[in-house]
Each structure stands twice: as C-alpha cells, then as structure tokens.
Amino acid sequence: MAERSSAILVKQRPREAGRSRTLKAVLILCFKIVSTVAALAITAFAIYVARDTLLHAHRFDIAIKEIHGLRYVPESHVLMKIKELEELNRNLLALDIHQLRRSIELLPWVKETIAQRILPDKLVISVKERVPIAFARVERGTLLVDEDGILLENKPETLSTFDFPVVSGLEASFDADALARNKKRIVLYRDLMQSLDENGAGLSKDISEIYLRDMGNVSVIVSEDTVLVHLGAENFQEKFRRYLAMSKELKQKYPLLDSVDLRYSNQVVINTANQKFSN
C-alpha cells in the first residue's frame, strides 16, 4: 500500500512542475504585451504632443508668399484663396496643401497649381494658366476658349490683346457632356487650322469665322467676306484653295452669293439669297 502511494506522489510532482512553468510563461508573455502596449502608447502620446507643438508654433507661421506664373489671373485672387485657409491656421505645417491647390484651380484661367512649403515660413505657389487659342461666340457674348474647350471669362481690354478667328457652336455650360462636346469641337478647330497652314501655306490667317455646331461639317467665312464656305470634316486646305480660286468668278456670276458647299468631290453647291445651284 505504501509503495502504491509513493508511486502516485512521484507522478503528481512532474505535473505540478509543468503547470508551474506554464503559468510562469503566461505571466512573462502578459508582461511583455503590457510593456509593448505601454511603450507604444507613450510613443504615440509623445508624437501627438510633438506634432501639436509644431502645428501651433509661431516659428512656422507663414511669413513669405511667392506666386509665380501669373499673367491674366490677378495675384489678389490667389492671395484671397491663401487667406481663406490662413484664417483656420497660419502655421505652414498645418496648411492643407491639397485643398489650397484645388481651391486655386477653381479660379478662371487657372489650369494647374503646385503649392510648396519651404521651412520655416515660406509658401511658394506656381500657377499654370490656360492658353486661349480662339474667340468663342456664345449666348452671353464673345469669350476666349482654350485647347480643352474651356470658356474663359475675360475683360473687354483682354480681348484686344489677341488675334484669333471667332468660333461658333461651343456650349456655354459646365455640364460634363457639354464640356466633352466642346473639347471635340476644339480638336476639330485645331485640325482645321493645322491643315490650312500645312507646308507653309499660312491660310489660317485668312479665316474670320468658323462654325462647328455640326461636327461633320466645318464651315468658315473668309476675312472681309460674307460667304459661308462648307468644308466638311477633312481635306480642309484642298477645299479652301478651291474656294479661293473660284470665289471672284462666283461673286461676279452670283451677286447674291450666300454659301458655297465643297463637301462633294465632283460638284459645288451654291446658295444665293433666293436660289440654289449645283455645278
């Protein structure tokens, strides 16, 4: 009986020792986890305090503002956009650069903006303005238009500094579909001008008005003329030369000449104020 009790005690001792080691390992693991969490919390708090201190330090208040690239956009308009964000926080590090960029790009004539911080207190703004390539006649008057088909608000004195043909057919809307159609029309306009100037021809300077409402039929009016010339959608220079070669004779033959349609390869359709002819 004594021998059996001794055997049982021998078996229990290793089990108790194993449980003791397991408990110790768990306690060590818990201590490591708690220590790590505490260290992370202290580090995060230190970062927060340091960040908050920097974002409110007067050492980094915006003191110098440099604005580059302006020609048509008034500098005061850009400064106003900066001031709107400065009223929230004048600290250069706290300034939302992306919001500032988006805000400036809402200004008429602004195409792209780059905003940079130069520590400790300098803000540099670089503006890329839109470049007008034509006049656009719309319901509210004559505006300038850029290569993306964006209508540009302008002052009367601004118009006099440019020498472009007048384009009709663009839509005075900021609707996405209207903007897409305007861009296609401007692509057609640029194709026309490029074609007329190919091989040094320089014929684009003779164009006064361009009609793009029907994108399948580009129509033009020559400077100091009233006749509407339909050129279709291709081979612009060839067709325009045909018109220049016959215009004098046509005007003599048809004093009330209103339009000439050159879209067809083997005939010329002539419209007068009261009749239509096909040659």
User: Per-residue pLDDT tens for 218-270?
Assistant: 999 999 999 999 999 999 999 999 999 999 999 999 999 999 999 988 889 99
> Is 21 part of any domain?
no
> Is 138 part of any domain?
yes
pLDDT band at 26 (very low <50, low <70, confident <90, very high): confident
Residue 141 has pLDDT above 60, yes or no: yes
Per the structure, the complete domain to which residue 153 belongs is given by 132-278
Domain boundary among 78, 107, 129: 129
Determine the 3-state secondary structure of 51 from DSSP.
helix
Tell me the per-residue pLDDT of 99-111, one tens digit each, with 9 for 90 and over.
Answer: 999 999 999 899 9
Tell me the per-residue pLDDT of 144-174, one tens digit each, with 9 for 90 and over.
Answer: 999 999 999 777 667 778 999 999 999 998 8
> Is 40 part of any domain?
no
100 and 181 assigned to the same domain: no
CATH number at residue 118: 3.10.20.310
* 279, amino acid identity: N
Q: What are phi and psi of 133, to 5 degrees?
A: -125, -5
- Taken in order 185, 190, 196, 199, the sign of the CA dihedral is negative
> Is 107 part of any domain?
yes
Count of structural domains, the chain = 2
Domain boundary among 129, 146, 173: 129
User: What single-letter DSSP state applies at residue 155?
Assistant: -
End-to-end CA distance of the chain: 134
117 and 151 assigned to the same domain: no
User: What single-letter DSSP state applies at residue 165?
Assistant: P
> Is 23 part of any domain?
no
Residue percentage of the chain with pLDDT more than 90: 64
Partner residues linked to 91 by β-bridges:
61
Q: String of b and e for 78-88 (b: at least 16 CB within 10 Å)?
A: beebbeebbee
Residue percentage of the chain with pLDDT more than 70: 85
80 and 138 assigned to the same domain: no
d(CA 121, CA 135): 42
Which pLDDT score, from 0 to 100, does residue 9 have? 46
The Cβ-side half-sphere exposure at 58, using a 13 Å CA radius, reads 0
73 and 84 assigned to the same domain: yes
Over range 86-110, report the average pLDDT: 92
Which pLDDT score, from 0 to 100, does residue 48 have? 57
Residue 139 has pLDDT above 50, yes or no: yes
What's this model's pTM, rounded to 2 decimal places?
Answer: 0.74
Q: Is residue 138 packed enough to be buried (19+ CB in 10 Å), middle (13-18) or exposed (0-12)? A: middle
Over range 176-183, report the average pLDDT: 95
CATH number at residue 141: 3.40.50.11690
* 224, amino acid identity: E
122 and 144 assigned to the same domain: no
181 and 214 assigned to the same domain: yes
Q: What are phi and psi of 228, to 5 degrees?
A: -85, 125
Q: What share of the chain is helix, strand, coil (3-state, %, to 5)?
A: 45, 25, 30
DSSP code per residue over 196-254? HHGGG--GGGGEEEEE-SSTT-EEEEETT---EEEEETS-HHHHHHHHHHHHHHHHHH-
98 and 140 assigned to the same domain: no
> Is 2 part of any domain?
no
> Is 63 part of any domain?
yes
Domain boundary among 106, 129, 152: 129
